[in-house]
């Protein structure tokens, strides 16, 4: 049998462009028909084994975000960290933006509830984890409520990677989750409301503002056939609590409702420029933000029962949807608040 291990067969597909495959059989032929697009110049590959009558083939496929550059805010912990890792694994260069590089501490040992946002652990920073894995990633410190910080972060990303294709405006807080008991609106401080709105709503506003500026100015990426891709992909993290209320969270619900409507408004304004703007609406995830529920057995049982598809979710469950919303698969989709909620909204 001939040694086919180093041979790469190539042909041009009228729809997908240049294809390549590695045959693992002496029966392999360059005349084989394939429907899977392959780009061997890609730096990020996924291997798929395909069994055919003429032999076994290992197909090397580029990641769904190959060639794109992404900013992920709130990247140090929880959902933001999961999104940054998912984007990098799909081939994107990632600019991690947060107030701190280190992960957030999960539990306040005194209250047993979610710890203050500013309390951090000594765990490995997201960008360092990605760099260690051979991915392209940097960290930029930014207060996402300050316009100049957000503008500087976007410029740092463009300076490092040459462009900006995706921004995941994920940074968010729930001050209410740090309290020892739920507070209704007459008990909620103005400070809690202002801080929540500043990060959860204004932070998205600023991220969209400065990202769209660069997306409009740069040349769009090209498809394999030479046609232009969309100019940009914006993925805002809202919540199911931006669609339906939850007890004792007036500030958080208001901020996530604002995130949903801002997503729709930006989508409308920039649809003509082929900049997609969609929102993730996660259900309750097992992160530091929900320790107030996870730390009480009765509350945990109730919230798990509210998610018919297996209880509370993991950040990775939502990160998969974030990849979809940043990919070419949303070619004809914008302005959608997408629930990724384990069936929470079915109740």
- DSSP letter for each residue of 129-170: HHHHTT--EEEEE--TTSHHHHHHHHHHHHHHHS---EEEE-
Choices 3.40.50.720, 3.40.50.2300, 3.30.70.120, 3.40.190.10: CATH for 69-346: 3.40.50.720
Q: Return per-residue pLDDT of the chain as tens, 347 residues.
A: 444 445 555 555 454 445 555 444 444 444 444 444 444 334 444 444 444 444 444 444 579 999 999 999 999 999 999 999 999 999 999 999 999 998 877 777 777 667 676 777 778 999 999 999 999 999 999 999 999 999 999 999 999 999 999 999 999 999 998 888 889 999 999 999 999 999 999 999 999 999 999 999 999 999 989 999 999 999 999 999 999 999 999 999 999 999 999 999 999 999 999 999 999 999 999 998 888 888 889 999 999 999 999 999 999 999 999 999 999 999 999 999 999 999 999 98
pLDDT, position 9: 58
Which amino acids are annotated catalytic? 252
Question: Cα(175)–Cα(113) distance, rounded to whole angstroms?
Answer: 11
Query: Considering the entire predicted model, what is its pTM?
Result: 0.82
| Sign of the C-alpha dihedral computed for residues 314, 260, 150 and 274 taken in this order | positive
Give, rounded to a whole angstrom, the gap between the first and last alpha carbons of the chain.
60
Q: Where in the chain is the domain with CATH 3.40.50.720?
A: 69-346
Q: Give all strands (DSSP E) within the chain, no chain letters.
A: 9-13, 17-23, 45-52, 55-62, 69-73, 93-98, 137-141, 166-169, 232-237, 275-282, 337-340
- DSSP letter for each residue of 217-240: HSPPPB-TTS-B--SEEEEEE--G
Question: Cα(337)–Cα(217) distance, rounded to whole angstroms?
Answer: 27
């Amino acid at each position: 049998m001939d040694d086919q291990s180093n041979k790469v067969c190539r042909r041009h597909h009228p729809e997908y462009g240049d294809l390549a495959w590695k045959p693992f059989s002496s029966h392999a032929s360059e005349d084989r028909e394939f429907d899977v697009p392959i780009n061997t110049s890609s730096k990020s590959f996924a291997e798929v084994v395909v069994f055919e009558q003429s032999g076994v083939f290992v197909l090397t496929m580029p990641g769904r975000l190959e060639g794109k550059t992404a900013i992920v805010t709130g990247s140090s912990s929880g959902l933001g960290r999961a999104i940054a890792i998912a984007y990098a694994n799909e081939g994107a260069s990632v600019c991690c933006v947060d107030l701190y590089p280190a992960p957030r501490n999960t539990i306040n040992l005194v209250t047993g509830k979610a710890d203050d946002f500013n309390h951090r652990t000594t765990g490995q920073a997201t960008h360092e984890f990605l760099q260690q894995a051979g991915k392209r990633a940097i960290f930029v410190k930014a207060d996402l409520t300050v316009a100049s910080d957000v503008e500087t972060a976007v410029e740092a990303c463009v300076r490092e990677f040459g462009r900006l294709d995706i921004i995941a405006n994920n940074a968010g807080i729930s001050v209410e989750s740090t309290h020892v008991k739920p507070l209704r609106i007459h008990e909620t401080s103005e400070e809690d409301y202002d801080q929540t709105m500043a990060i959860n709503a204004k932070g998205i506003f600023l991220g969209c503002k400065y990202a769209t500026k660069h997306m409009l100015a740069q040349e769009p990426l090209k498809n394999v056939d030479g046609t232009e891709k969309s100019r940009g992909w914006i993925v805002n993290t809202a919540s199911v609590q931006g669609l339906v209320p939850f007890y004792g969270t007036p500030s958080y619900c208001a901020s996530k409702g604002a995130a949903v409507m801002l997503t729709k408004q930006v989508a409308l304004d920039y649809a003509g420029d082929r900049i997609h703007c969609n929102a993730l609406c996660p259900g309750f995830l097992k992160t530091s933000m929900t320790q107030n529920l996870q730390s009480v057995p009765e509350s945990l049982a109730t919230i798990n029962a509210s998610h018919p598809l297996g209880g509370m979710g993991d950040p990775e469950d939502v990160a998969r949807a974030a990849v979809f919303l940043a990919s070419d698969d949303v070619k004809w989709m914008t302005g959608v608040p997408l629930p990724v909620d384990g069936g929470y909204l079915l109740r």
